[in-house]
Amino acid sequence: MLTQLELRKIRKIIIKSWRRERKNKFETYCLMWARVRKQKDRRRRRCIAKLYRIEQERKLRTGELKLTA
């Protein structure tokens, strides 16, 4: 039979471990979304650069943009 003090200590340890587990789960969840967001930003930047190049080529072909060297 455990004393009240021992029970309290065990309960405290269990609660701490639960909190730690929840915190770790939340942190990994946030990291996952941070990675997704980073990937989306990278993709968006690449797409914008590609669209800019296409627009510049179109302007060169139509004569709107002059090449200066």
pLDDT in tens, 17-68: 999 999 999 999 999 999 999 999 999 999 999 999 999 999 999 988 877 7
> Is 43 domain-assigned?
yes
Residue 69 has pLDDT above 70, yes or no: no
The yes-or-no verdict on residue 14 having pLDDT over 90 is yes
Alpha carbon separation from 14 to 29, 33, 40 (Å, rounded): 23, 29, 39
Predicted pLDDT of residue 1: 85
Please check whether residue 20 lies inside any domain of the structure. Answer: yes
Confirm whether pTM is higher than 0.85. Answer: no
End-to-end CA distance of the chain: 91
Q: State the residue range of the domain holding 5.
A: 1-62
Contact 19, 25 (CB under 8 A): no
CB 56 within 8 A of CB 65: yes
Count structural domains, the chain.
1
pLDDT of the residue at 49: 95
